């Protein structure tokens, strides 16, 4: 079990500032910050951190740590989401990186002022560490005092390779939820109780934000040639929004495609390594020499455009009562259609596809406006 060992703020030393400036040192920052607040007997030691900074030194440090642990993997811990640590990590580590390196900006924040829990659905790209999601989580928490829980791929929880990079339980403590339907629904149920659409129409009061990528890994692994082209949406978030009456706030991120540019995915190699993707780019040599660059990304400007709040159950009601299109009519708005007796799964899929088309059109318009303003 992870135990808090310090409540005093983490203060940067000259070594931390050096790690912030030197990309292979970012992984050191993540681990040192964890070790300041949490017990980590199986974690990295100071002399191993020094090896991170040398070409191929990470492999030597990894071998030393493996021997030090008795030729075993780091022990697993039973951990729970920790809003206090999430806030400390955001303010002390993420904030300087997002402000000075990724230059994150949130636009149209008036669309966020909705009471109760929210599902924030964003296009996810970059083929690298999820800096677009982490940046959005930080900016959302700065606008409103909410606990932000991102849905993350299972590799961030128990992949046999990643447990050597980041502390065991790191994703869970930061509020991460497995990007699986059962875990997604359990996270919503924990803040909504049993007040589903079928049970009662009463509003929900707990202020939690669930960050969700409707494209899943299809969006992240699509490659440079398909940048800013939205992949198909998984309709599960619409189905859960309908069931629990949780509003959806769509967000468009511009700049995430440049976190790891000129990249394509080698699917067969990814399957062999049991990874969701294996990106190949001009930076591959740097990653081989410095594996700690796995939490780093290319400097870019992350711009987030908050779209109007979407309440799918209102459109579903309109369609069911005949206020929408006819059963053979066209979709309109955020994806509402005449639904008749179609299954809930078909309704969710149609509404998710309508949202995808609307967001794709908005992405194209935003990129055109930015091109006209900057000429790039």
Nearest in space to 111 (alpha carbons), one of 120, 103, 98, 102: 120
Question: What is the Cα–Cα distance from 191 to 153, expressed in whole angstroms?
Answer: 21
With beta carbons less than 8 A apart as the criterion, state whether 94 and 134 touch. Answer: yes
Q: What is the mean pLDDT of residues 259-283?
A: 85
Q: What is the mean pLDDT of residues 44-54?
A: 96
Alpha-carbon torsion (53, 54, 58, 63), positive or negative: negative
The domain 14-310 having CATH identifier 3.30.110: the answer here is no
Give the predicted TM-score (pTM) of the model. 0.87
Residues 6+ apart with CB under 8 A from 129: 294, 295, 296, 297
Residue 167 has pLDDT above 60, yes or no: yes
**Token couple for 265:** 């995915």
Cβ–Cβ < 8 Å for 224, 261: yes
Parts of the chain belonging to CATH 3.40.1130: 14-310
Residues near 273 by beta carbon (within 8 Å), at least 6 away in sequence: none
Residue-wise pLDDT for 136-161, tens only, equals: 999 999 998 888 999 988 888 888 88
Query: Which tens digit of pLDDT belongs to each residue from 60-116?
Result: 999 999 999 999 999 887 788 899 999 999 999 999 999 989 999 999 999 988 888
Give the list of residues 6+ apart from residue 230 with CB closer than 8 angstroms, or none.
123, 215, 219, 356, 359, 360, 363
């Amino acid at each position: 079990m992870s135990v808090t060992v310090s409540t005093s703020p983490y203060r940067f030393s000259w070594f931390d500032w050096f790690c912030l400036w030197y990309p292979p040192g970012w992984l050191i920052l993540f681990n040192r910050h964890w070790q300041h607040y949490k017990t980590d007997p199986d974690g990295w030691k100071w002399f191993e951190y020094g090896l991170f900074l040398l070409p191929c030194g990470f492999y030597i440090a990894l071998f030393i740590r493996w021997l030090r642990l008795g030729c075993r993997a780091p022990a697993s811990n039973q951990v729970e989401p920790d809003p206090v640590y999430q806030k400390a990590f955001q303010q002390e580590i993420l904030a300087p990186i997002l402000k000075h390196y990724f230059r994150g900006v949130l636009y149209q924040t008036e669309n966020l002022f909705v009471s109760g829990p929210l599902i924030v659905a964003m296009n996810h790209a970059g083929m690298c560490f999820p800096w677009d999601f982490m940046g959005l989580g930080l900016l959302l928490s700065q606008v409103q005092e909410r606990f932000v829980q991102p849905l993350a791929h299972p590799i961030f929880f128990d992949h046999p390779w990643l447990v050597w990079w980041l502390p065991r339980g790191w994703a869970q403590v930061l509020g991460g939820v497995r990007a699986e339907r059962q875990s997604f629904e359990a996270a919503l149920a924990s803040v909504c109780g049993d007040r589903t659409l079928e049970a009662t129409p009463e509003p929900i009061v707990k202020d939690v934000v669930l960050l969700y990528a409707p494209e899943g890994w299809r969006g992240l692994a699509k490659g440079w040639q398909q940048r800013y082209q939205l992949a198909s949406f998984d309709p599960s978030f619409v189905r859960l929004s309908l069931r629990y009456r949780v509003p959806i706030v769509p967000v468009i991120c511009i700049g995430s495609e440049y976190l790891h540019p000129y990249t394509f995915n080698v699917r067969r190699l990814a399957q062999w390594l049991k990874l969701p993707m294996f990106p190949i780019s001009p930076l591959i040599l740097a990653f081989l020499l410095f594996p700690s660059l796995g939490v780093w990304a290319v400097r870019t400007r992350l711009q987030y455009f908050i779209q109007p709040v979407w309440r799918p159950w209102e459109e579903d009601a309109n369609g069911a009562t005949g206020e929408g299109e006819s059963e053979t009519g066209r979709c309109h708005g955020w994806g509402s259609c005449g639904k008749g007796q179609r299954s809930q799964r078909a309704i969710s899929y149609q509404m998710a596809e309508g949202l995808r088309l609307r967001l794709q059109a908005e992405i194209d318009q935003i990129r055109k406006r930015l091109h006209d303003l900057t000429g790039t």
